[in-house]
Copies of this chain bind each other. A is one copy, B any other.
Amino acid sequence: MSAKTASKKDQRYKPVTPEIVGELRRIVGERNVVIDEEKMEAYSHDETNAEEYGHMPEVVVLPTTTEQIAEIVKLANRELVPITPRGAGSGLSGGAIPTEGGILLTVERMNKMIELDVDNMVIVVEAGMVTNDLAQMVEEKKLFFAGYPMSLQSCYIGGNIAENAGGGKAVKYGVTGRYILGVELVTPTGDVLWLGGKLSKDVSGYDLKQLVVGSEGTLGIVTKAIIKLIGLPTASSDLLVLFKTPREAIDVVPTIMAKGIVPTSIEFMDQLSVQTSCAYLNESLPYEEAGAMLLLEVDGTNPDQVEADLIAIGELCEQHGAMEVYVAEDTTTKERIWSVRRNIAEAFKVYSPIQSLEDIVVPIASIPDVIPELERLSAEYGMKIPCYGHAGDGNLHATLVKDPDMDMKTWHKNEAACLRDLYALTTRLGGKISGEHGIGIKRKDYLKEVANPVELQLMEGIKRAWDPNNIMNPGKLFDLS
């Protein structure tokens, strides 16, 4: 990995001087400041391509309290040094990359549980807690954090909040934001305040908490969160359903949901995704004939109800032209079919490590319109474009995969042109260019092309009002004009 070294693009910002490093050491303690280049390298990229998007910070700080963060933010405002907040670095749009150098502020040493309040069915945690740790902690009390994303083994709850992360269970449970009842925020000017509370309803002024959720660290640093829990589902079952065409697969989705059945997951996989993943896993699903598959999960607390829902879904699929319906009630079969879904990205990485993992979102009924267009783009730009993802939400991981034989210059040119076409298509269908990964630096130029300019102006207005010096994660989502 070779991240670009610190060269400030924006002339407003000042360099991090030895005096500033000294101040930071005073605030967080000597061992919580890193200036060694080699040690800082890990903080120069996220899960996007490091070559393309990486950028070195000038200093990394690892605060342990909210008060320290507030002091750092005030210092940054005084000295005009940009701050990039960072969670686990598992992001997919470059939101945690310090593109302007400056201070990289990681919350990794703020990972404590503050309170597990069973009576109010909430947990209060620091932003650096690994999402999976949170999930396990509450499971012991037979409670459930329903907002967790696919990457929960490594990601932090603070990052989930910053990106309003989605995941495989969002059809039934919604995304992260639904479970964030309150946040402790350090504002871009260094004030500390709580937004929301242990409350499911609140109309006492603008919903600033929900504005902060998904703002990619540009409106402040979330330091703690109050998270809503629900009862732990104790029963679940899965169905794998094969269809001749993507259209047939998708058409069944609203049919199921209109019956009042809300599956936990409705995952879609096109033929190319299934074939590649099966080949990689040496798995033998009868995919040859199937143009598309749906993987559905139902969960709940009553096994009879879960089974009744599953049977009803299976029947609806058969009535709507499914070729085969496989039920997976035991753990081994469940694992086998979910493994195909989970390994799609990995399987394509074996074929070619250079990819652009997308997460466009369209109205669910428009998913079938996307598939032939992807085939057209695939042919036009000489790359494979498998399509899979969260069909129940219209959120598709169309992924541009570089042909191993294509030279890098052509790839970059074709990737950009193909993304532009893909996003224009998405916009024409009434969709948006990101459903769960965010805009960050990877998509900000494209967002500018497809978004309504008034919408961008309204966003920029908020940013300017909250962050007059533009020091809080600048250059993410948009460049201030």
Residues of A that sit less than 8 Å from B by CB? 117-122, 141-144, 163-164, 166, 170-171, 174-175, 177-178, 187, 191, 193-195, 197-208, 210-211, 213-215, 219, 230-234, 251, 254, 257-262, 300-302, 304-305, 308, 361-365, 390, 393-395, 430-439, 443, 447, 451-452, 454-456, 458-459, 461-462, 464-466, 477-478
Known contacts: A197-B432, A363-B199, A458-B187. The answer to whether A231 contacts B207 by CB under 8 A is no
The answer on a CB contact under 8 Å between A258 and B175 is no
How many monomers of this protein are in the complex? 2
A385 to chain B, nearest CB (A): 20
Cβ 8 A contact of A201, one of B219, B395, B458: B395
How far apart are the CA atoms of A461 and B456 in the complex, in Å? 17
The answer on a CB contact under 8 Å between B211 and A207 is yes
Name the residue among A166, A174, A198, A211 with the largest chain B CB count within 10 angstroms: A198
The answer on a CB contact under 8 Å between A254 and B202 is no
- B residues less than 8 Å from A193 (CB atoms): 452, 454-455
The answer on a CB contact under 8 Å between A231 and B260 is yes
Known contacts: A259-B231, A465-B462. The answer to whether A455 contacts B208 by CB under 8 A is yes
8 contacts between A and B (CB under 8 A): A121-B257, A121-B258, A170-B201, A202-B432, A205-B439, A208-B459, A231-B257, A259-B301
The answer on a CB contact under 8 Å between B365 and A120 is yes
Name the residue among A204, A362, A478 with the largest chain B CB count within 10 angstroms: A204
- B residues less than 8 Å from A119 (CB atoms): 251, 254, 364-365
Known contacts: A257-B230, A300-B260. The answer to whether A455 contacts B363 by CB under 8 A is no
The answer on a CB contact under 8 Å between B231 and A261 is yes
User: Which B residue's beta carbon lies closest to that of A309?
Assistant: B302
The answer on a CB contact under 8 Å between B205 and A477 is yes
Name the residue among A143, A219, A461 with the largest chain B CB count within 10 angstroms: A461
Known contacts: A204-B447, A466-B458. The answer to whether A142 contacts B258 by CB under 8 A is yes
The answer on a CB contact under 8 Å between A200 and B393 is yes
Name the residue among A203, A207, A260, A393 with the largest chain B CB count within 10 angstroms: A203
A1 to chain B, nearest CB (A): 26
- B residues less than 8 Å from A187 (CB atoms): 454, 458
A165 to chain B, nearest CB (A): 8
The answer on a CB contact under 8 Å between A213 and B207 is yes
How far apart are the CA atoms of A143 and B259 in the complex, in Å? 8
A425 to chain B, nearest CB (A): 14
How far apart are the CA atoms of A251 and B119 in the complex, in Å? 8
Given contact pairs A166-B201, A304-B304, a sample of 11 additional A-B residue pairs in the complex whose CB atoms are under 8 Å apart: A121-B258, A166-B203, A191-B454, A193-B452, A199-B431, A199-B435, A206-B214, A207-B213, A231-B259, A302-B308, A461-B462
Known contacts: A187-B454, A364-B120, A393-B200. The answer to whether A164 contacts B207 by CB under 8 A is yes
- B residues less than 8 Å from A199 (CB atoms): 361-363, 393-394, 430-432, 435
